[in-house]
Amino acid sequence: MSRLIPTIALMAITAASCSKQTKLTYPVAPSDDTVDNYFGHEVADPYRPLENDTAASTLAWVEAENAVTQEYLSKIPYRQAIRDRIEQLNNYPKIGMPSKENDGKYYFYKNDGLQNQHVLYRSDTPDGDGDVFLDPNKLSDDGTVALTGVYQSHDGKYTAYTISRSGSDWTEIYVMDTATGELLEDHIEWAKFTGAAWQGDGFYYSAYEKPADGKEFSNANEFHKVYYHKLGTPQSEDKVIYENRNEPLHFHSVDITNDESTLIIMGGGAGNGNSLFVKDLTNPNSKWITVEESQDNDISVIDAREGKLYIFTSADAPRYRLVTADIKAPQRANWKELVPENKEAVLVNARFAGDKLILTYDKDASHHAYVYNADGSPVREIALPGYGTLSFSTNSKDPEVFYSFSSFTSPATIVEYNAETGESKPFRSTDLQGFNPEDYVTEQVFYTSADGTEIPMFLTYKKGLKRDGNNPVYLYGYGGFNITLNPSFSPNRLFWLENGGIYAQTNLRGGGEYGEEWHLAGTKQQKLNVFNDFIAAAEYMIKEGWTNPDLIAIEGGSNGGLLVGAVTNMRPELFKVAIPRVGVMDMMRYHLFTIGWNWAHDYGTSADSPEMAEYLLAYSPLHTIKNDGTPYPAIMITTADHDDRVVPAHSFKYAATLQAADTGDQPKLIRIDSKAGHGAGKPIAKVIDEYTDIYSFIFNNMGLQPAKK
């Protein structure tokens, strides 16, 4: 299968005087008299001109908004001190897990501390210092070109790598001679959501046709195709080997078995899962075999051995299972169960290490791992130290395994593990300067949502913290797309903790914490469950004496930005500060931009039915902003000019509407980054700047002051 080389002292808050906010003057946004009709219901969209992200009027408005935001932030006296400390917390060596590749060498990522992008190294041994193989920091002057994937040919002779520029989802593919590092002439553009699946002297990839000039980051993407590129030829000669002209909004991702015998196509975009098609490459006249045509379930091939496909799936198993199928007759009716669904946990990953299977499960949103035989019989559990997130580096030909374990307060610890014997030994750990993880504790609590459902939440805080109702809380959630929020490490979060704050991460419905049923309970016309779950988390923190509404900051990104926008409109009195980041704010038109249509299986669309349009309109953050003098929390919206996942028009229109509404005197700002996208691959300098502004905004509006470090 194609392989992606895996990446890798207490201070107290003191109260400060909080003077009455002076209402800011905001730029006038370009507007018109646009009104849309949804099944007879007329809905005004006065800031429609802001959807044109390249228009002179939009660019002028962006510049004016950033000026207001930066002037506000520049007046916060401790902003530079916050930046200095966040930079210190980020400045530690980061070394990823070694990965044994097809050339017999070990590859790993390393960052000396504050390098904008991690550097890929190569070594003869897993514990060697290695030599630089690929340094993405040299691909741009400002660190805005990110290395997003590395794929070695099965004979180890060539290495394809993918990059993203300025945070965009658009992907370019380059090819190197693995031994010498020489860059070949091959160059692929306008690829998206793809790797490189090698066969012979070329590879398969997925791409769109070149978009219209000026609309590269906003127009809807249609007709995703799979191509084959032969080394040494121009992209214009690449052959289309799979497309579906009847379904312009489907994705098509491609993979290939390690022996290059079977080509695999997964289709997505129309349901909660994916379709699956395979082709026998040993027979030049073979046709595509349909394994599963619907996109109702997740179905992926994890390996092929001795004529059998090993398949990971949610079909007939909402908490997932493993099955096998004969390569020549892989249809669902012929599947044989290998590892059945576990009713107490969710299977989230499966991979071979030699002749053993390594299975990762989610139990109450925390990872657990087990070793199984290839026949599906259990062998042992891998012992872990507590709540955390696992990542594995394995090779299907070798029982040698490396895994990393991280938690809310500890960066990744890497362990060397033998899948055959169960022997493990520490391989590499990281010490943080000036921060002792042992001074903090993480506990998991369960609280009751509006309909009686029990919701899990992790709380991380300084040992000895008193439950006196006066602790600042940073409440984070997501709740969508079957994504699970596990306990994971971020150096930026340490600043909040060392200043006496509580970090609360809640596992809302809509995510994957308890399988597909949990996911579906937060989708379409059950989306209100997600917002109620989040509101109940804040109410729980208040009721249990952790905090009060004047000390709660809420944050979420993308679908989590939608969450923050929606609950702020529903319960503005419950929060002091709201940070909606790169959020989906216009629920009536989200499906009309780039890949927004792909979210319809979670949200539904305003074109589906009168009932669906009415439901979306009732919670859409853009359309439910109060305008009657109701006091709102301080709000800082964040977005970026190259975000072609959730286009910045969402945040632009939301900010303009919010600023024009009568919601009290608290600031309503928008921070618009340049040469940045949805978040992936963002250079560390931009990350530090962003968190500096977020914490400065939160502290200032809570009337708090960070302690000196």
Catalytic residue numbers read 558, 678
> Which is nearest to 28 in space by CA: 649, 657, 641, 579?
657
Residue 664's identity, in one-letter code, is: G
**Can you read off the two tokens belonging to residue 459?**
């709380």
> Which is nearest to 23 in space by CA: 621, 631, 622?
631
CA distance 575 to 537: 12
The phi, psi pair for 250, rounded to 5°, reads -90, 145
List strands edge to edge, sheet with 454-462.
440-448, 454-462, 502-506, 473-476, 552-557, 577-581, 634-640, 668-673
- Antiparallel, parallel or unpaired: β 634-640 and 668-673: parallel
Cα-only R_g, the chain = 25
- Antiparallel, parallel or unpaired: β 502-506 and 473-476: parallel
- Antiparallel, parallel or unpaired: β 225-230 and 336-339: unpaired
> Which is nearest to 64 in space by CA: 670, 500, 644?
670
CA distances to 100, 106, 319, 512 from 346, in Å:
28, 31, 5, 8
**Can you read off the two tokens belonging to residue 430?**
């990281």
Q: Is residue 673 within 8 Å of 640, Cβ to Cβ?
A: yes
Helices (H) and strands (E) in the chain, counts: 10, 41
Q: Is 430 helix (H, G, I), strand (E, B) or coil?
A: coil
> Which is nearest to 507 in space by CA: 569, 574, 447?
447
| Residue 631, number of CB atoms within 10 A of its CB | 12
**Can you read off the two tokens belonging to residue 575?**
């929060």
CA distance 606 to 608: 6
List strands edge to edge, sheet with 424-428.
389-395, 398-406, 413-418, 424-428
